[in-house]
Amino acid sequence: MKFLEERIKRDGRIYPGNILKVDSFLNHQIDVGLMDKIGEAFFEAYKDRGITKILTIEASGIAIAYSAARFFKVPLLFAKKSQSLNLGNDLYTTTVSSFTYKKDYQVTISKRYLSAEDHVLIVDDFLATGNAIIGLAELCRLAGAKVEGVGICIEKGFQSGGKQLREMGYSVTSLAVIENMTDDGGIVFKS
Amino acid sequence: MKFLEERIKRDGRIYPGNILKVDSFLNHQIDVGLMDKIGEAFFEAYKDRGITKILTIEASGIAIAYSAARFFKVPLLFAKKSQSLNLGNDLYTTTVSSFTYKKDYQVTISKRYLSAEDHVLIVDDFLATGNAIIGLAELCRLAGAKVEGVGICIEKGFQSGGKQLREMGYSVTSLAVIENMTDDGGIVFKS
């Protein structure tokens, strides 16, 4: 999936502490042509899995999920983040620890929209610690839905999330896997 | 724009207090076929305005903005909500009062992605008090960008936002305008 690596090399900005900013094209300003290619790549990877729903988490996963959902011709569902613990009984809820923001938050979906009939493709922009994806997989487990795959735009290969998800048995397709970054702006992708 | 009214009548749920839930197709689970029609309707309304960017606010505006951006073949930009007042000087920032959540929050965009060269179409799922849209228009004003139009899926015509925006001189296109709702589930659209 060289197209995303090339875009990251061209337009990504690296800051000290392994921070990669891709907000000119992926998660603040969004290049819809690029996003269409991302959705198509996930479709190619999982088109034979009988996907019935694309699941992501607000906010930066939504455009990615929408692009994928157009190719699969299925609905997308985005989980909501909440700091409230008092969320009502019509929701599936789990807790996610944010590495970036150093706090826990609740992730919820309505019970109406995910069931044991569903075959789910989870998508998101980044995979680092894997906590958000594991939370989404947990919502699927609560609903009895099957996770058929996980589609990630950018995996930080030097963090543990990808390894952990694959060890849990999930099929993970990352369009760009970063092996390492240097504070002077260098970036090496896993070949 | 009868297609959205028809979908609201079929799948919307009304709760006491003029609350309309459209989360089965518009802002939690998303029907991508419907969303494509919404984007196309905004394109038809504003295709002659030289639009260079679609602007919305996270989270439920993002799929709408993405759909519109595909038709206009321009980038989309979604403003972020923050509760922090200490946000750095590379952002345009304004304060929005949330009627639903009874609190103020900051709305921000990066200065990199909006400029005096831009002709902006603002889109969102709902228009009620208008506070979120007025906040987005204020971000455009700070950037020197021109707001060419406002595309709304569902306007609550019995609240003041639409009237206020039109009196401020904005072109507002709402695909469905609700005249009133009753607690027993009745809904009347403005013809």
B1 has pLDDT over 80: no
Residue of A nearest to B114 (CA): A29
Q: What is the pTM of this model?
A: 0.96
A87 has pLDDT over 70: no
B130 sits in the region (left: phi over 0; alpha: psi -120 to 50; else beta) called left
Chain A hits for B113, CB-CB cut-off 8 Å, are 23-24, 28-29
A29 pairs with which residues across the strands? B77
| Interchain contact, A28 vs B80, CB within 8 Å | yes
Q: What is the pLDDT of residue A134?
A: 98
Of B87 and A151, the one with more pLDDT: A151
pLDDT digits (tens, 9 = 90+) for B53-111: 999 999 999 999 999 999 999 999 999 998 776 667 899 999 999 877 778 999 999 99
Contact B58, B86 (CB under 8 A): no
State mean pLDDT over A80-89: 78
| Interchain contact, B78 vs A59, CB within 8 Å | yes
State mean pLDDT over A31-48: 98
Residue of B nearest to A55 (CA): B29
| Interchain contact, B76 vs A63, CB within 8 Å | yes
Q: Which of A28, A30, A66 is opposite residue B30, by nearest beta carbon?
A: A66
B11 and chain A in contact, CB less than 8 A? no
* Phi and psi angles of residue A100, each rounded to the nearest 5 degrees, phi first: -65, -45
B103 and chain A in contact, CB less than 8 A? no
A112 and chain B in contact, CB less than 8 A? yes
Q: What is the pLDDT of residue A184?
A: 83
Nearest Cα of chain B lies from the Cα of A68 at a distance, in angstroms, of 10
B35 and chain A in contact, CB less than 8 A? yes
* CB environment A93-119: b (16+ within 10 A), e (fewer): bbebeeeeeeeebbbbbbeebbeeebb
Q: What is the pLDDT of residue B84?
A: 72
Q: What is the pLDDT of residue A185?
A: 81
Question: ipTM value of the model?
Answer: 0.95
* Phi and psi angles of residue B3, each rounded to the nearest 5 degrees, phi first: -60, -35
pLDDT digits (tens, 9 = 90+) for A153-166: 999 999 999 999 99
Chain A hits for B32, CB-CB cut-off 8 Å, are 66, 69-70, 73-76
pLDDT digits (tens, 9 = 90+) for B9-63: 999 999 888 899 999 999 999 999 999 999 999 999 999 999 999 999 999 999 9
Q: What is the pLDDT of residue B6?
A: 96
A95 has pLDDT over 70: yes
Q: What is the pLDDT of residue A1?
A: 58
Q: What is the pLDDT of residue A127?
A: 97
| Interchain contact, A69 vs B29, CB within 8 Å | no
Contact B109, B92 (CB under 8 A): yes
